[in-house]
Amino acid sequence: MIVRSSVPTSRGRRTRAALLQAGREAFEEHGYDAVRIDDVCGRARVSHGTFYTYFDSKEALFGEVAAAVVGEMFAASVVGAAADPDDPYARIEAANRLYLRAWAANSRLVRMVEQAATSEERFGRLLLELREVFVRRGAEGLKRLQEQGLADPELDPRLTAVMLGGMVEHFAHVWLDLGERADEQVAVDHLTRLWARAIGLTETSGWREEGA
């Protein structure tokens, strides 16, 4: 029976972090099925026994790597000060750009999680968590615009966020994973125009169409 301390030491935290990083690199390079625990241990420069001090299995390691990716994608796509808070069009544009970049940095692992989700419920839940944070953010943003009279008041905020978020997610997959050729700025511009028009974002928001 393996006994794990509930209060890890600094060295223990470093070792665990090294295993997570080694696992992530191995999964990204070779895919989930091809990775062996020995491969991860070699990259992290730890013994096989040390691995089991922190993780019960390769599946457990992958689960934590996947959860970290979900958190990173959310954090990387937070608009924050990246756009004027009083310019909703600029904020939609910034959100689309940040999402595409977050996807580019994590797409291979996201696809592995999607594949794993077909056989393991916990990975399906992880995917739902990933989508939910973006859906919730989009729905809350649309609701604020509706309250300000800047967006179509008849749209259901959540359904709209699910549908438009799906558009961006699918484009990210086709562009970054399947090789559709497009300049990033052109892609962001098109996604933002489609999003803005779909929600009826008005010109009083500060958005002016080119040539108008």
pLDDT digits (tens, 9 = 90+) for 145-182: 999 999 999 999 999 999 999 999 999 999 988 989 99
- Pick from 104, 97, 91, 87: nearest CA to 186: 97
Please give the average per-residue pLDDT across 105-129, as a whole number.
Answer: 85
- Section 95-123 average pLDDT: 87
Residues 6 or more apart whose CB falls under 8 angstroms from that of 168 comprise 96, 99, 100, 191, 195
Alpha-carbon distance values, 162 to 6, 57, 112, 137, 180 (Å): 39, 34, 22, 11, 23
- pLDDT tens, residue by residue, 47-70: 989 999 999 999 899 989 988 888
Instruction: Report how far apart, in Å, the C-alpha atoms of 68 and of each of 18, 19, 71 are.
Output: 14, 13, 5
Spatial separation of the C-alpha atoms in residues 200 and 32, rounded to whole Å: 43
Segment 13-24 shows an average pLDDT of 94
8 pLDDT tier (thresholds 50, 70, 90): low
Asked if residue 40 lies in contact with residue 30, where contact means CB atoms within 8 angstroms, the answer is: no
Q: Using only C-alpha atoms, what is the Rg of the chain? A: 21
Record the pTM. Answer: 0.78
Calculate the average pLDDT of the chain. 87
pLDDT of res. 180: 92
